[in-house]
Amino acid sequence: MSDKSEARLSVFKTYKLYVGGKFPRSESGRVYEVTSSKGEWLANAPQSSRKDARDAVVAARKAFGGWAGKTAYNRGQVLYRVAEMLEGRREQFVREVADAEGLSKSKAGAQVDAAVDRWVWYAGWTDKIAQIAGGANPVAGPYFNLSSPEPTGVVTVVAPQESPLLGLVSVLAPVIATGNTAVVIASERAPLPALSLGEVLATSDLPGGVVNILSGRTAEIAAPLAAHQDVNALDLCGADEVLAKELEVAAAENLKRVLRPQPVDWSADPGTHRLTAFLETKTVWHPTGSLGASGSAY
């Protein structure tokens, strides 16, 4: 045997979609090149088709009942686990964010740290949002009138084209924190952090189908999702003005909540706006009075 060590070939990472808790390649078999901010080749990302989008909606709908039915405290534990797993893979995400945004390692590290903190932020809100979005309502009459928030359903999230990790987490975490399930269209220009996030979610106790991540041409994937009859809401954060208008028109075919794109500073305190954007309010009336000899009141 030769004493000289042979040159070792690098093992290139294969990026895949994340649908229903699994990692399929695109049904179309297509890929597209992802380049760095300097134009250097980074990877081939799956180019999702309409069939992939439909499969993602089916998976999200199937997972909705179980996820919405979990206690808010349990959902918070799962989101905190996502933060743990993301923290454990910090080095990988720093590299991907630095390549995508042309940042130094220190600045990319700050973005990743902020994304981890954002998961923790929303984990803490899961069992508190009902206290600010619901409550007892004053009524004239012998009734209790109580309002409580419930998740809207399946939400399509057009992720920000810039800030492919922190921006993505900032729009995705509040959707699932409140019991919705999500179909995410990753940044077309920089999808790699989103596709890697799928691997984090798969190892963080999040049930399969709660989050489904697609990559490819944003307009091509978003159009069938906006018109899909089983999609209940749209977050158009990453759509430009022309595409956002087209998607909003397509969404009018059935009743959907639509959150329109607006300028956002992803480093700022996120507040509760996105937590309440995809909640419905259920109001219950119940008569007051005594029951039998016990005199118990409702």
Query: What percent of the chain stands above pLDDT 90?
Result: 77
CA distance 12 to 4: 24
- Both tokens assigned to 128: 């508190």
pLDDT 10s digits, 5-23: 578 888 888 999 999 999 9
Question: Which residues neighbour 76 within 8 Å (Cβ) at sequence distance 6 or greater?
Answer: 123, 124, 125, 126, 127, 177
Alpha-carbon distance 45 to 217, whole Å? 11
User: Radius of gyration of the chain from Cα atoms?
Assistant: 22
pLDDT digits (tens, 9 = 90+) for 243-260: 999 999 999 988 899 999
Whether pLDDT at 132 is above 70: yes
Please check the confidence at residue 103 and state whether its pLDDT lies above 60.
yes
Report DSSP state, residue 260.
Answer: -
pLDDT at 142: 81
Place of tokens 């993505």: 168
**Residue whose pair of structure tokens reads 């180019």 in the numeric block:** 47
pTM: 0.90
- Going by C-beta distance under 8 Å and a sequence separation of 6 or more, which residues neighbour residue 250? 223, 226, 227
The model's pLDDT over 30-73, given as tens digits with 9 standing for 90+, comes to 999 999 989 999 999 999 999 999 999 999 999 999 999 999 99
Domains observed in the chain: 47-288 (3.40.605.10)
Q: What's the CA gap between 107 and 61, in Å, rounded?
A: 38
Indicate the pairing of strand 181-185 with strand 211-214.
parallel
Tell me what pLDDT residue 3 has.
53
Whole-angstrom Cα distance, residue 110 to residue 26?
Answer: 32
pLDDT at 239: 95
The pLDDT of residue 287: 84
**Rounded CA gap, 276 and 255, in Å?**
18
| Parallel/antiparallel/unpaired status of strands 135-136 and 41-46 | unpaired
Q: Above pLDDT 70, what percent of the chain?
A: 95
CA distance 157 to 182: 7
Strand pairing class (290-291; 296-297): antiparallel
Share the mean pLDDT of the chain. Answer: 91
